[in-house]
Chains A and B, each alone.
Chain A
Amino acid sequence: MSVKKFVVGVFTDELVLFPAVKKVRTAGYKIHDVYTPMPIHGLDHALGLRETSLHTAGFIYGITGTTTAISGIGWIFNSDWPINFGGKSHFDLPAWIPITFELTVLFSAVGMVLTFCYLCQMAPFVRKHHFNLRSTDDQFTMVIECTEKTNETEVIDFLKSVGATGINTQKAETGWWLGRYDKDKTPFEQQGTALV
């Protein structure tokens, strides 16, 4: 959660983007993120991101649902308010399967979506800095973080050499803040100057 300086390179073709990501990483620059209009398979590996554990979270939520259903119904029918249904067993597991299954799915789905929103820091009225508005349209935006050691012009030249079609520098907040997209008062200097 801090304001940092970034060099932003724009690509128009994913076939140029992939080798560029590789070259930029090999050259030792720190890629803050790459923003794309659609999922690009393999880009996460190219960037060296680890696999997401969202599946595991989903599984844990799922078994929570299963246990909730079985223990809930079991407690209700056996100890809280036992009712005799035509002499059938109080622990009537086959009849509980539908509800147990539904609760497993419900817990897993709701839990995963909430976890997804939490991990990606997404919610209504969450405002973030967007480096390039066309990265939800047709452009692929590579953002390189500048540290005190970074030579900015060198990064810009390097990005040019790997095929970026537009390059600029921006100072931006990396986290999120509460705000609205129709009120563009952002707490920092938003746009840098276009350099290419």
Chain B
Amino acid sequence: MALLAYESQVRPGLVDGPKDYHQITEDLVRPIEANPSRLWWIGFLTAVACLIFGIVSVTMQVIYGVGQWNLNRTVGWGWDITNFVWWVGIGHAGTLISAILLLFRQGWRTGVNRAAEAMTIFAVMCAGQFPIWHMGRVWLAFFIMPYPNTRGSLWPNFNSPLLWDVFAISTYFTVSLLFWYSGLLPDLATVRDRAKLKWRKFMYGTLSFGWSGSTKHWQRHEALSLVLAGLSTPLVLSVHTIVSFDFATSVIPGWHTTIFPPYFVAGAIFSGFAMVQTLLLVTRKVLRLEEYITLEHIEVMNKVIVLTGSIVGVAYLTELFIAWYGMNKFENWAFFQNRVNINSPLGWSYYIMMGCNVLSPQIFWFRKMRRNLTVTFFMSIIVNVGMWFERFVIIVTSIYRDYIPSSWSTYYRPSIWEVGFYVGTFGLFFTCYFLFSKFFPVIAIAEIKHILKKSGNVYKDKMGDAERETVEQFAHENAHAH
């Protein structure tokens, strides 16, 4: 056993059941080779229906202009930017799991990283829709790209947070995609080499780039994963920091807050983990992957949720304190009249945010709750509702009653096309996720094989005696050392 990194018995196992390498392949490739279930079809078609609703909504907006949305003076950013920030935030958990936890050598990431990374990519795709279509004349969207043009040449403003966003989101999408796909290559080769059907051989043969499993290739692959993880770690922090700059560098009371970058990043991870829970609880049930995505995985993620939820809570309270302590009457108004005052027109949204994000996750201090699937699923939805309202509170309540009371009467309520656009991104997200779960291995096969012999429950039991001996031996040898 000297070859395999030894893992203490104190750490719970990550793969249940008597598994060997072949059984892992069988279990994880089965969903790809089997025909999709009826549940899959129902889910997929529902997602496609939502996507079509979204396409119709966006088409209406393109034909008739942004006036189809109920944005007004002073609410120039409403549901669209709320949804943008919400979706970008959801993406963050995927990178946290795949990159940051890789650097921290957290074995449990292997069960969930593939699906979480896929979620990141789809979420960023959804997020990107909002600023693009909000431009109005979307056929001129390429104006944001810096290239020598015939308009001067007129360049975009590199000092503007909105342009930083363009770079941040597009880099984030590209790097996440590369990281995810390079990790998929060996697993696609596994599917290819088992394939019996002609189209499957063709498809996975093409997608796996001719991967052979050569030792040299694995060595490079490991180096690549490690460096990409090292790059993605500051990248993921920078992305939501830059998104928060969209607000923090402005002069709007309620927005120009220096606490925003860390607070947005924590919130992003918070909502992202909630979305990972929602997806994986369903995925493990439908695809029967309970032995790979175990209660341990779910419990660990719930711990992250209670931690980040509490960080977000501290940030909310800090904001309130500073609004009071700073004695700026506009800031004070934005916080205490537009938000905390429950009788103000949108005051209710502040309490939904507080209840969902700060209070409700506290039940995860209890182990029983962390390991309860129903509670976890319910909470994962609650947290995402709460995080949507956080962005809504930040964006809309800061601007709907501004310096000029004459413009206060225009209460902001989304139009059907704004709602449709949001529903449409759910359609896009879930259409992509359903296709992913049908055609790609949702759990990283090679990585599970890699940890099997040190973290598989059956193997850990065998190692138990060795550990006891080592501990006793260690105690014996060191008892009289000095």
- Residues of A near any B CB (own CB < 8 A): 14-15, 18, 33-44, 47, 49, 51-52, 54-55, 58, 72-73, 76-77, 80-81, 83, 85, 88, 92, 95-96, 98-99, 101-103, 105-106, 108-110, 112-113, 116-117, 119-128, 130, 133-138, 176, 180-182
Contacts and interface: CB of A to CB of B under 8 A. Distances in A.
Contact of A49 (B207, B216, B228, B234): B216
Contacts of B209: 117, 122-124, 126
A85 B157 CA distance: 9
B20 A180 contact: no
Contacts of A102: 164, 167-168, 171, 235, 238
Given A37-B446, A136-B189, A98 B215 contact: no
Interface in B284-330: none
A182 B195 CA distance: 9
B158 to A, nearest CB: 5
B204 A181 contact: yes
A66 to B, nearest CB: 13
Residue in B153, B195, B228 whose Cβ sees the most chain A Cβ within 10 Å: B228
Contacts, number: 202
A177 to B, nearest CB: 10
B174 A109 contact: yes
Given A98-B161, A136-B192, 10 more contacts: A43-B215, A44-B219, A58-B231, A99-B167, A105-B232, A110-B178, A116-B220, A136-B211, A137-B193, A181-B202
A125 B204 CA distance: 10
B158 A77 contact: yes
A102 B377 CA distance: 35
Nearest to A86: B159
B167 A123 contact: no
Given A109-B174, A127-B210, A39 B231 contact: no
Interface of B: 1, 3, 5, 20-22, 25, 146, 152-155, 157-159, 161, 163-164, 167-168, 171, 174-175, 178-179, 182, 185-186, 189-190, 192-195, 198-199, 201-202, 204-207, 209-224, 227-228, 231-232, 234-235, 238, 242, 245, 446-447, 449-450
A92 B159 contact: yes
Contacts of B146: 72, 76
B215 A47 contact: yes
Given A49-B215, A126-B210, A182-B199, A54 B163 contact: no
A85 B159 contact: yes
A34 B220 contact: no
A105 B235 contact: yes
B171 A54 contact: no
A40 B185 CA distance: 17
A53 B189 CA distance: 25
B202 A137 contact: no
B22 A138 contact: yes
A138 B23 CA distance: 9
Contact of B447 (A38, A58, A88): A38
Contacts of B5: 41
A103 B213 CA distance: 32
A98 B245 contact: yes
Contacts of A47: 215
B3 A42 contact: yes
B446 A122 contact: no
A80 B153 contact: yes
Contacts of B198: 182
A138 B21 contact: yes
Contacts of A38: 21, 186, 218, 446-447, 449-450
Given A106-B171, A124-B207, A101 B21 contact: no
B153 A81 contact: yes
